[in-house]
Amino acid sequence: MGPPMEELLAGEIQTFEHERQLFNASGHQLLDLDDFKQINDRYGHKTGDDTLKLVARTIKKRLRPSDQVARIGGDEFAALLPHLGCRQAEQVATELADAIAQAVVNGPDGKLSARASIGVASVDETSEDAQHVLAEADRAMYATKKAKLAAG
């Protein structure tokens, strides 16, 4: 999939400092699968694993070769999108969420798909540090989840 999370975060801090020094925008995304626990509980861990593998392949296929992606926890992924501003990273997030929703896993009861909430933050000359950028992406991801729940 990608480098271990420790390497990704170390690289992110270097990228952060480099991008900030050059005043070059860099997009950061945090992605969380919606209701993934229900997939595991209802269909079993094999189907859950198959879903994670499909999501990872979908992410890798949709991002550029220069982008970095890593699974950071159960159903969470982080992506670094160098040289993309926040608006462009948000467009990529929308397209990525759509691609994940269209990807299909063969489960024991038929086909199923996952949904993802993606939060975006950017590094620019006003960014404080890498942890702040990750926290902003995390807040944006949970705002996306909350908006989905409110919409029904």
Q: Could you tell me the CATH number of the domain that includes residue 81?
A: 3.30.70.270
In the chain, the number of structural domains is: 1
Q: What is the pLDDT of residue 134?
A: 81
DSSP designation for 63: S
pLDDT tens string 102-135: 999 988 888 999 999 999 998 766 777 777 888 8
Q: What is the pLDDT of residue 23?
A: 43
Q: What is the pLDDT of residue 12?
A: 57
User: CA-to-CA distance for 102 and 77, rounded, in angstroms?
Assistant: 18
User: CA-to-CA distance for 80 and 119, rounded, in angstroms?
Assistant: 12
Write b or e for each residue in 60-91: b if 16 or more Cβ atoms lie within 10 A of its Cβ, otherwise e: eebbeeebbbbbbeebbbbbbbbebbbeebbe
Q: What is the pLDDT of residue 22?
A: 43
pLDDT tens string 8-61: 555 655 655 555 544 456 778 899 999 999 999 999 999 999 999 999 999 999
User: CA-to-CA distance for 8 and 35, rounded, in angstroms?
Assistant: 26
Q: How far is CA 37 from CA 1, 12, 90, 102, 139, in A?
A: 21, 29, 26, 19, 21
Q: What is the pLDDT of residue 52?
A: 95
User: CA-to-CA distance for 44 and 65, rounded, in angstroms?
Assistant: 33
pLDDT tens string 63-99: 999 888 889 888 999 898 888 888 899 999 999 999 9
Left, alpha or beta for 24 (phi > 0: left; psi -120 to 50: alpha)?
A: beta
Q: What length does the chain have? A: 152
Q: What is the pLDDT of residue 68?
A: 86
Give me the domain span that covers residue 144.
5-151
Q: Which residues are catalytic?
A: 75
